[in-house]
């Protein structure tokens, strides 16, 4: 059974945004994040090994719910699903990308930055969105302002958020989780686990 978006965003307060340059990092990095309490893991499709990394994490890391990030084309939606992605994250949203995301059958967070972006999602009945790049687009203040005209919209702000800034976002009623890369740097797996544990307890 595919996850619902409600289930996805409830898995943890933080979605790690992972950039895999070396395929061998994929499994130990995801395993450390899961041990720390962050099961929903977004692997960005920005690097050559990204799809293979999704495949390996899906097959080899019990407890991980792996998704694809930086999804910008319908082809990438297909490729990510074939690799085993269970959710999709996009930095933006065009009509054709939204068509592909809605047809995918898995939860997705399409990127919004402006009121018109939010309206375009609401017109399709979509009530969850990424807010990107969060800090540059007004951060907590912008999301507070969005709560007025868009009370039904729920956001996962991402971009420029760290462990110090995350609590102010998570305190907002219209924020369901935050995305960030601060705990997902490959190398020292114990450090990744510790940073993930701190993020999971936010």
Ligand X SMILES: O=C(O)C(=O)C[C@H](O)[C@H](O)COP(=O)(O)O
Which spans of this chain sit near ligand X (rule: CB under 6 A)? 17, 44, 69-70, 89, 91, 132, 158-161, 179-181
Q: Which residues are catalytic?
A: 42, 130
- CA atoms of 13 and 172, how far apart (whole Å): 12
Cβ proximity to ligand X, 132 vs 169, nearer residue: 132
Comparing CA positions, the residue from 199, 169, 170 lying closest to residue 32 is: 199
Cβ proximity to ligand X, 36 vs 179, nearer residue: 179
Q: Are 198 and 38 in contact (CB under 8 A)?
A: no
- CA atoms of 68 and 53, how far apart (whole Å): 10
Place of tokens 């969005």: 146
Cβ proximity to ligand X, 59 vs 75, nearer residue: 75
CB of 8 to ligand X, least distance (A): 15
Cβ proximity to ligand X, 91 vs 107, nearer residue: 91
CB of 31 to ligand X, least distance (A): 21
Q: Please, what's the largest Cα pairwise distance for the chain? A: 46
Q: Which two tokens stand for residue 187?
A: 């190398």
Element (H, E) at 139: helix 139-146
CB of 1 to ligand X, least distance (A): 26
CB of 17 to ligand X, least distance (A): 4
CB of 159 to ligand X, least distance (A): 5
Cβ proximity to ligand X, 37 vs 69, nearer residue: 69
Query: DSSP state, 111?
Result: E
CA distances from 38 to 1, 33, 47, 180, 196 (A): 21, 5, 22, 12, 6
Q: Which two tokens stand for residue 43?
A: 């692997």
């Amino acid at each position: 059974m595919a996850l619902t978006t409600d289930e996805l965003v409830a898995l943890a307060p933080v979605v790690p945004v992972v950039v895999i340059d070396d395929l061998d990092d994929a499994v130990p990095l995801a395993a450390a994040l899961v041990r720390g309490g962050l099961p929903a893991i977004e692997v960005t499709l920005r690097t050559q090994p990204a799809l293979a990394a999704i495949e390996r994490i899906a097959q080899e890391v019990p407890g991980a719910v792996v998704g694809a990030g930086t999804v910008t084309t319908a082809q990438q939606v297909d490729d990510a699903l074939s690799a085993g992605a269970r959710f999709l994250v996009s930095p933006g949203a065009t009509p054709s990308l939204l068509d592909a995301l809605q047809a995918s059958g898995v939860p997705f967070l399409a990127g919004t930055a402006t009121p018109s972006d939010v309206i375009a999602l609401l017109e399709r009945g979509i009530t969850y969105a990424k807010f990107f790049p969060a800090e540059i687009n007004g951060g907590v203040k912008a999301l507070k302002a969005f709560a007025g005209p868009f009370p039904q919209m729920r956001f996962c702000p991402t971009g420029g958020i760290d462990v110090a800034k995350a609590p102010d976002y998570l305190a907002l009623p219209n924020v369901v989780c935050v995305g960030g890369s601060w705990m997902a740097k490959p190398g020292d797996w114990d450090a990744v686990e510790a940073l993930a544990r701190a993020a999971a307890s936010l």
